[in-house]
């Protein structure tokens, strides 16, 4: 936790503001509890309140059945429905709504949290994270402030950030918070970087609007970075592409990077680097980039949406050596951390807290006080209204610890390598790139089969046994399998390879 937040929290605890043990055991929260006999209560809501235990029990059992059946749940939806355009006048109550959902929409729910959903780098949800997610809805907090009256759930969020920093071996001098996904995390980090560029030019972009061209250097920025540049007014085309290294690599060529930096003639710029490219999980050389900072003036952002979690394993943490020197980092927790959607984290160095509050502060809300004196996430990220997104991650981190996440990372890499070896051994397929970590990028063997790749993938996904996504790598059509799910095992790899062999035998 940054020092200024930690000091304020400790002072508040000493003064008794955060004395969470002040309520005697056994004494209920509130004076009277919920009263279903209130005269002004809607009748359907009254009945749902009276029978809430029955409704939640049905949902609990349905949820347990779904999770237990995940390995056999289709990974592709096979039907569609006609959408209803009219709303019931009086409503039907929760039980009837559940029945309608089960009849119409439940069959469309695919096993995206299961062991063979290998598309979009989608993690599953650990049991503890599901528990935390349920409680997030029950408590229904608007997580913002760490002091004063009202909701203080931001304390849990700050603690969760500290647990993540410890898990990843990062220093405490990062300010962090939860947002919806990698797009909003990249957006948050790059918004502060935009303000940094403005201050270098004597401007306040947050107040006065963007004017002038901001220089962005990057090799293979993710689509979420490109989208963020568009939303920030920088422009989705406004980045200068750095060449990648030779030898079937996706990381930036450092000689080309430095040449382009020199060509800027001292102009400050934003450098966007990657911790795990989407096709082959390649990493930029953070140790070398750290050394460049002693000679050049730039904001350094790392998009580590899923690849950052390689730091959980002593076998792979060397891939991130030097990343602690970055100005900002993106993490996507609903990927390799295996918590439910939506969950991502931004990390920005504490030394930039003034820039961050200038970018996001609610200056038109005087009741919120001085944003630097009264910490609130309102002044550090885009959303004003936000649920307690940190709770599922807090549950999962505490439940499984460093070993649990080390096991998830190492098992994912092992499964990816097993799948990669099976691809190499099959004459119908070929790898497009080495299996560096947890993604396998492959295609049908032979240039004559390039046009068959989309059809093959479509038929494979239509089996409902696995889901993978198409890609293009070095100009060739390919297929990408991403391994991040905590449940994936050897039997899943063998099942999918058997399905692939069947399809090749039938259609070739």
Q: What is the pTM of this model?
A: 0.91
474, two tokens: 């070095």
Asked whether 326 and 193 are in contact (CB, 8 A), the reply is: no
3-state secondary structure at position 66: helix
Closest CA to 426 of 442, 439, 438: 442
Q: Which residue would you say has higher pLDDT here, 6 or 469?
A: 469
231, two tokens: 């939303």
Closest CA to 284 of 292, 296, 276: 276
Closest CA to 361 of 475, 241, 192: 192
Span 48-59, mean pLDDT? 95
Residue 353: per-residue pLDDT = 94
Confidence of residue 371 (pLDDT cuts 50, 70, 90): low
Q: Give pLDDT tens digits for 105-126.
A: 999 999 999 999 999 999 999 9
Q: Give pLDDT tens digits for 200-248.
A: 999 999 988 998 889 999 999 999 999 999 999 999 999 999 999 999 9
Q: What is the percent of the chain with per-residue pLDDT over 70, rounded to a whole number?
A: 91
Q: Give the phi and the psi of residue 358 in degrees, each rounded to 5.
A: -60, -35
User: Where would I find the H helices in 336-443?
Assistant: 353-360, 390-425
Confidence of residue 15 (pLDDT cuts 50, 70, 90): very low
416, two tokens: 């990816």
Q: Is residue 501 part of a domain?
A: no
Q: Report how far apart the first and last C-alpha atoms of the chain are (Å, whole number).
A: 58
137, two tokens: 């809805």
Q: Is residue 88 part of a domain?
A: no
Confidence of residue 364 (pLDDT cuts 50, 70, 90): low
The sheet with strand 240-241 has its strands ordered as 174-179, 344-349, 328-332, 298-303, 269-274, 216-218, 240-241
55, two tokens: 């409704």
Q: Give pLDDT tens digits for 113-170.
A: 999 999 999 999 999 999 999 999 999 999 988 776 678 899 999 999 999 999 999 9
| CA–CA dist 31, 131 (Å, integer) | 27
Span 22-31, mean pLDDT? 44
| CA–CA dist 348, 296 (Å, integer) | 20
Asked whether 406 and 313 are in contact (CB, 8 A), the reply is: yes
Strand-pairing partners, residue 430, are: 443
Strands 344-349 and 429-431: unpaired
**17, burial (CB in 10 Å: exposed 0-12, middle 13-18, buried 19+):** middle
What CATH number has the domain bearing residue 200?
A: 3.40.640.10
Residue 507: per-residue pLDDT = 79
Q: Is residue 504 part of a domain?
A: no
Confidence of residue 432 (pLDDT cuts 50, 70, 90): very high
Residue 37: per-residue pLDDT = 76
Q: Is residue 4 part of a domain?
A: no
Longest dimension (CA), the chain: 75
Domain of residue 359, residue span: 133-397
Core vs surface per residue 145-154: b (16+ CB within 10 A) or e: bbbeeeebbb
Q: Is residue 496 part of a domain?
A: no
Confidence of residue 370 (pLDDT cuts 50, 70, 90): low
| CA–CA dist 418, 410 (Å, integer) | 12
| CA–CA dist 456, 443 (Å, integer) | 10
Q: Is residue 432 part of a domain?
A: no
Residue 227: per-residue pLDDT = 95
Q: Give pLDDT tens digits for 63-109.
A: 999 999 999 999 999 888 899 999 999 999 999 999 999 999 999 99
* Least confident span in 1-15, 32-46, 336-350, 433-447: 1-15
Q: Is residue 50 part of a domain?
A: no
| CA–CA dist 190, 269 (Å, integer) | 11
Number of domains in the chain: 1
Q: Give pLDDT tens digits for 300-327.
A: 999 999 999 999 999 999 999 999 999 9
Closest CA to 164 of 423, 397, 372, 375: 397
Residue 20 pLDDT more than 90?
no
């Amino acid at each position: 936790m940054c020092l200024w937040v930690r000091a304020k929290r400790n002072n508040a605890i000493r003064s008794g503001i955060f004395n969470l043990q002040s309520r005697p055991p056994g004494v209920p929260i509130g004076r009277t509890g919920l009263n279903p006999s209130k005269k002004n209560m809607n009748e359907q809501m009254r009945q749902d309140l009276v029978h809430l235990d029955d409704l939640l029990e049905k949902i609990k059992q349905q949820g347990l059945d779904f999770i237990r059946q995940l390995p056999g749940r289709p990974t592709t939806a096979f039907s569609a429905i006609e959408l209803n355009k009219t709303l019931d006048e009086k409503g039907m109550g929760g039980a009837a709504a559940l029945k309608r959902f089960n009849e119409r929409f439940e069959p469309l729910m695919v096993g995206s949290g299961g062991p063979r959903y290998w598309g979009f780098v989608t993690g599953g949800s650990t049991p503890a994270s599901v528990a935390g997610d349920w409680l997030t809805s029950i408590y229904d907090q608007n997580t913002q402030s760490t002091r004063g009256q009202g909701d203080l759930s931001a304390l849990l969020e700050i603690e969760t950030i500290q647990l993540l920093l410890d898990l990843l071996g990062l220093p405490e001098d990062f300010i962090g918070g939860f947002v919806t996904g990698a797009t909003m995390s990249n957006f948050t980090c790059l918004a502060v970087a935009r303000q940094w560029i403005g201050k270098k030019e004597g401007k306040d972009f947050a107040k006065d609007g963007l004017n002038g061209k901001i220089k962005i250097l990057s090799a293979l920025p993710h689509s979420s970075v490109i989208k963020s540049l568009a939303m920030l007014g920088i422009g989705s085309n406004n980045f200068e592409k750095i060449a990648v290294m030779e030898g079937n690599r996706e990381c930036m060529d450092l000689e080309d990077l430095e040449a382009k930096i020199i060509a800027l003639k001292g102009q400050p710029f934003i450098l966007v680097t990657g911790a795990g490219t989407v096709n082959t999980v390649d990493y930029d050389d953070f140790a070398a980039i750290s050394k460049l900072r002693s000679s050049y003036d730039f904001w350094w952002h790392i998009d580590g949406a899923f690849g950052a979690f390689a730091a959980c394993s002593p076998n792979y943490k060397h891939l991130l050596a030097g990343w602690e020197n970055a100005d900002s980092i993106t993490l996507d927790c609903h990927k390799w951390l295996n918590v439910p959607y939506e969950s991502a984290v931004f990390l920005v160095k504490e030394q930039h807290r003034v820039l961050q509050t200038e970018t996001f502060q609610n200056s038109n809300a005087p009741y919120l006080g001085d944003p630097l004196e009264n910490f609130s996430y309102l002044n550090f990220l885009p959303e004003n209204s936000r649920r307690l997104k940190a709770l599922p991650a807090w549950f999962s981190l505490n439940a499984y610890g460093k070993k649990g996440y080390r096991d998830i990372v190492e098992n994912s890499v092992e499964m990816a390598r097993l799948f990669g070896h099976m691809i190499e051994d099959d004459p119908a397929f070929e790898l497009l790139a080495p299996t560096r970590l947890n993604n396998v990028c492959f295609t049908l063997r032979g240039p004559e089969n390039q046009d068959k790749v989309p059809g093959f993938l479509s038929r494979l996904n239509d089996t409902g046994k696995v889901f993978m996504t198409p890609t293009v790598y070095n100009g060739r059509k390919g297929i990408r399998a991403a391994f991040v799910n905590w449940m994936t095992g050897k039997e899943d790899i063998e099942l999918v390879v058997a399905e692939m062999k069947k399809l090749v035998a039938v259609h070739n």
